[in-house]
Structure 1
Amino acid sequence: MKKTGLATSFIFTLCATVATYVSQFGSVRSPRSAHFLRIHENMPHDTVKRLKSSEQTFPGDAERLRMYARSWTDFRGYDEFLSNAHEEMCHVIRNTREDAPHTLFNTVQFLGREHLEKCVSKYPYCADALSFFETGINVDRLLVLFGDVTENLTHLPFITKARKASSGEGILWPLNVGRHFTPMALVAENDLPWKDKQERLVWRGKDTGCAGHRRVLKVKNLFNSTDARVDVAFEPQLLDEANSGFARHHLSRREMLRNKYLLALDGNDVASALKWMLYSNSVVFMPKSRFETWALESMLKPYVHYVPVASDLSDTSEQLDWAKAHDAACQNISRRATEFISNFIGYATNSGMSRDQRIKRAIVKAYNDAMGQIMAGFSPESCDALGEGAAQVC
């Protein structure tokens, strides 16, 4: 009898949930959009906003530390792991350019403060990486990667601007801050109130880099769209000749912000414009990002911080229909995205790298602890017996 009562209660609750959904959205969607009801984080905004607020709060320092440094926060090296780490250290040492570290991209180097100081005026990564030496904790040398593509080194605690969200390779650190964070400070002078924006989806970007082919396929899908609300194209500058037919005129940030809907697409890593887009009064449309940086993009939730679209952008018009029908919900998504990314607005100023010192000191300590174990049994002379090898980056 009790089981029957529980089953009846469950069915009643399920029916009520579906009835509420239908009353808000008209009907349960087609199989192509069945993801709307599948799991918690893919629920529409009107459902998400009723979830307890603790699920939407910004993470505290301890959680951020775990996300940035992953398993390096409690590293305990065993013999086989340390042996692999020593092989990777040989690869790194052979590749390091102490006299000109800024000339090597997408490859981990082993650098001291004095090496980074040589390139501070030549390359923004050098100045940002120097902040690792400025937390008050002594660091001998730093394993660091300059560039967009994370090298396939799984046994070393190198710092990197970005990594695949599905991997734990590298320790995230705010690098190339000027390109990724500074534009947030320019949003206010170029933005419009939500009510004054046009109901259009816009994107401009490049096709360069290892991930360029992914963008090409996506842009091709939308470039010739018959939906007048869609304006997606490559920038004409520095465009591969084969893709020149998919270019349109440049759009300034001010011109883009005249529109309610901004498309963000991964390139070699997270879209460089994503942070200022989230900070704006517009709402971001994007496939779930495959990457994460210091801004914790892997914590962004669909229908909470952005409007999701399929990885091939095939449901873009359908999602624009949803957005038009739920204008207030989209405005709230935009507000919540701004609240989230506002936690990093300090990095848009010259004093940005002095922020988050408690977290950064914990990362530096974890790095020192791990490197102490790795270097204790390492001899650079042993590298002579190893082959050159090369880590794959693209």
Structure 2
Amino acid sequence: MSFTELRKKIFNGKNPKFVYYAEAYAKLHLPRFVLRPRVEDLDRELARRPDRDHIVDRVNYYCKASAYPGTSHQQWLAQSTELCRQPLTHQKVYYLDSMWLARFFDPHLRWHLEEGDVDYVPQVPSIVKSRPIAGDNSRSTILKLDLVRHFIFVNDHTAWRDKQDRVVFRGKVSGKAPRIAFLQRWAQSPRVDAGSVDREQSQYSRPKLTLRDHLRFRYIMAIEGNDVASNLKWVMSSNSIAVMPRPTCETWFMEGRLKPDYHYIEVKPDFSDLEQRLDYYSSHPDQAQAIIAHAHEWVAQFRNARRERLIALLVLRKYFDAVAQL
């Protein structure tokens, strides 16, 4: 077995966690005097960038409010924390990914960090990884969190036309109603390779597949779990097509702005039209290729590391400016 094959087997095509943790802890130990001047220079850096409008648009999307008149000062003090007193979160990735950015700012500023898969709007203005798309979600400010699991992109060298004309799904399904509904309807179909990878064995249990294994298929299901479908990002960077109902939650990937049948193939929430939708695009390969091209264009905006950091810092600054009025 070659080193490349061994690496794929061990990491399943995903980000090696020991590399992530080594980098994350190293960044947390950078001296603050190195970081603070960059915050002071944010406006000058923004002004000289040719993509300024794109950056401002995304900042305002992630942090929608400039003030929070519905939150009382007492409520804010009771639930918020000074940055320098932020405790380690239950899932360390939320602390590591958010505090790396927070350390650019005054440690006595206050925030509320809501960790985990958030499919609701918190009571006070909060930093979140995910939020519901519908309704007033302005109290939820999105940061790029849980990077090790959510932001994975692939280099797919197999053309769509050369892949199996089937759809694949693997994922944890316990407690996740949409995924259970999908398996109940389609797990036995010859057009579908689908299964649960939960530890508890069931009639739907199937062996795990690596990311590369998934890429043998023209279509890959991206079904929401606790919040978003975490595989959507790498699927849209591939030469396969994401298939899913319209999303209900969003992250830094701005799932709420994705266009059905433009960035992905939309199916009904009960998945009843799945086979019909696959048949249509398999018989219209030019339209399938257009979706792949549009998906790649969408993914490209998240690949510039320097711009991503600038946007994140501007989002946090806007959040701190807004909550300072409480």
TM norm structure 2 = 0.76
The question of whether the paired residues in 2 share the 8 Å contact of 1:157 and 1:370 is answered with: no
**2:12 match:** none
- Aligned CA distance change for structure 1 residues 232 and 139 (closer, same or farther; 3 Å): farther
Which residue identity is paired with 1:75?
A: A
1:170 to 140, 147, 153: 140
- How many angstroms apart in 1 are the aligned matches of 2:98 and 2:150? 15
For 1:47-106, what per-residue CA distance to the aligned partner results, in whole angstroms no more than 9, with x for missing partners? xxxxxxxxxxxx812221221111x2x2162xxx233x633653x36xxxxxxxxxxxxx
**How far off its partner does 1:234 sit?**
1.2
Structure-2 change in CA distance of 1:355 and 1:321 (3 Å): same
- 1:219-261 CA-to-partner distances (Å, cap 9, x unmatched) read 2111133xx22122212x323x5xx112222222111101111
Structure 2 unaligned regions, length at least 5: 1-52
1:124 matches 2:88: no
Secondary structure of the 1:345 match is coil
Q: Please tell me the residue identity of whatever aligns with 2:188.
A: N
Contact 2:120–2:131 (CA under 8 A) maintained in structure 1: no
* Counterpart contact for 1:261–1:282, Cα < 8 Å: yes
**1:207 and 2:173 correspond:** yes
- Kept in 2, the 8 Å contact 1:128–1:174? The answer is yes
CA contact (8 A) 1:163 1:293 kept: yes
Larger radius of gyration: 1
* Structure 2 match to 1:392: none
Structure 1 residue 367: deviation in Å? 1.9
Match of 2:211 in 1: 253
Residues 82 and 310 of structure 1: CA distance in aligned 2, closer, same or farther (over 3 Å): closer
Question: Which residue number corresponds to residue 233 of structure 2?
Answer: 275
| TM-aligned CA deviation for residue 195 of structure 1 | 2.9
Listed as ranges, the matches of 1:23-102 within 5 Å are 60-70=54-64, 72=65, 74-75=66-67, 77=69, 81-83=70-72, 86-87=74-75, 89-90=77-78, 92=79
Equivalent in the alignment of 2:308: 356
Distance 2:178 2:76 in 1: 30
Structure 2 residue 278 is the aligned partner of structure 1 residue 320 = yes
SS of the counterpart of 1:202? strand
What is the rounded CA distance, in whole Å, between the counterparts of 1:162 and 1:152 in structure 2? 9
Displacement of 1:136: 5.2
- Aligned residue pairs, count: 273
Matching residue of 2:163: 197
Q: Percent identity?
A: 30
SS in 2 for 1:304: coil
1:103-145 CA distance string (max 9 Å, x none): xxxxxxx3524545x679x822111011332445665233111
What are the superposed Cα offsets for residues 257-316 of structure 1, whole Å, 9 maximum, x if unpaired? 011111100111111111000000111111111011111111110121111111111000
Contact 1:192 1:281 in 2 (8 A): yes
Q: 1-side partners of 2:75 and 2:214: how far apart?
A: 48
Which of the two has greater helix per residue? Answer: 1
Tell me the distance in 2 between the aligned counterparts of 1:214 and 1:325: 27
Give the direction of change, closer, same or farther, for the CA distance of 1:119–1:312 in structure 2 (3 Å limit).
Answer: closer
- Provide closer, same or farther for how the CA distance between residues 316 and 119 of structure 1 changes in structure 2, counting only shifts above 3 A: closer
Contact 1:113 1:133 in 2 (8 A): no
- Alpha-carbon RMSD across the aligned residues, in angstroms, is 2.6
**Match for residue 199 of structure 2?**
238
Displacement of 1:218 after TM fit? 2.4
Partner of 1:218: 182
1:319-345 CA distance string (max 9 Å, x none): 011011111210121121011112113
Q: Secondary structure at the match of 1:207?
A: coil
The amino acid that maps onto 2:142 is: L
**Which blocks of at least 5 consecutive residues in structure 1 are unaligned?**
1-58, 94-109, 347-351, 375-394
Aligned to 1:104: none
TM-score, scaled relative to structure 1:
0.63
Q: Is this contact kept in 1: 2:228–2:251, CA < 8 A?
A: yes
